[in-house]
Amino acid sequence: MRAVKAAMGDAVFTVMWVFVSSMFGLLTNLIVTALGLQTLVWAPVLANTSLIFTFVFLFNFLGEFLGGATFNPTGTASFYAAGVGGDSLLSMALRFPAQAAGSVGGALAILEVMPVQYKHMLGGPTLQVDLQTGGLAEGILTFLMTFAVLVIILKGPRSALLQAWFLATVTVTLVSAGSTYTGPSMNPAYDSFETTK
């Protein structure tokens, strides 16, 4: 029963995360424009990092409220492999499909409510290099992100605020580093976004 409850929490949580995170580009653009900082190179990076920080911090609390729900299958697998948490093979077998279904649900939901003039800002990862280079880049970036998450959560600061800031900084850094290769996703949940368009 606990495994089914965890899977249901993951599905709901993933719908919410994919829905909200799909708007980061739009929200960053709106914030920078509203503040009149379009000409400053660092403004979009700082605005995006701040947005990710805010939502990671909020979603950490929400995930705890939902009984440890997560939206990233890679994170779920890495914490299981590290022996952290109470997952079993059965719960993992239920959580992965729930997260995948949740990501499709979130992608379909954002496509329904996003105003037409902003739909061009939605999109998932897209291959911008040959297949082997893109796969290698995505693999390396996913490894680095997963390793950073494990270090930050297990060995890093105990402050939830600092953990969220470090996670946001690492995310923006790795997404920027991989933008010329795949866009990158580093979260299999985002890959569903391209298939639902």
- All structural domains of the chain with their residue ranges: 1-179
Q: Could you tell me which of 52, 64, 16, 30 has the C-alpha nearest to residue 189?
A: 16
What pLDDT band is residue 191 in, cutting at 50, 70 and 90?
Answer: very low
Write out pLDDT tens, residues 11-39. Answer: 999 999 999 988 888 899 999 999 999 89
What pLDDT band is residue 197 in, cutting at 50, 70 and 90?
Answer: very low
> Token pair of 120, please?
């061009």
142 or 196, which is more confident: 142
**pLDDT in the model for residue 187:** 56
Average pLDDT over residues 143-150: 92
Average pLDDT over residues 68-82: 88
**pLDDT in the model for residue 101:** 94
Q: How much is the pTM?
A: 0.85
Confidence check: pLDDT of 10 > 90: yes
Specify the CATH number for 1-179; select among 3.30.450.190, 1.10.760.10, 1.20.1080.10, 3.30.460.80: 1.20.1080.10
Residues contacting 185, CB < 8 A, separation 6+: 124, 125, 138, 191
Write out pLDDT tens, residues 108-119. Answer: 999 999 988 888
Average pLDDT over residues 57-69: 89
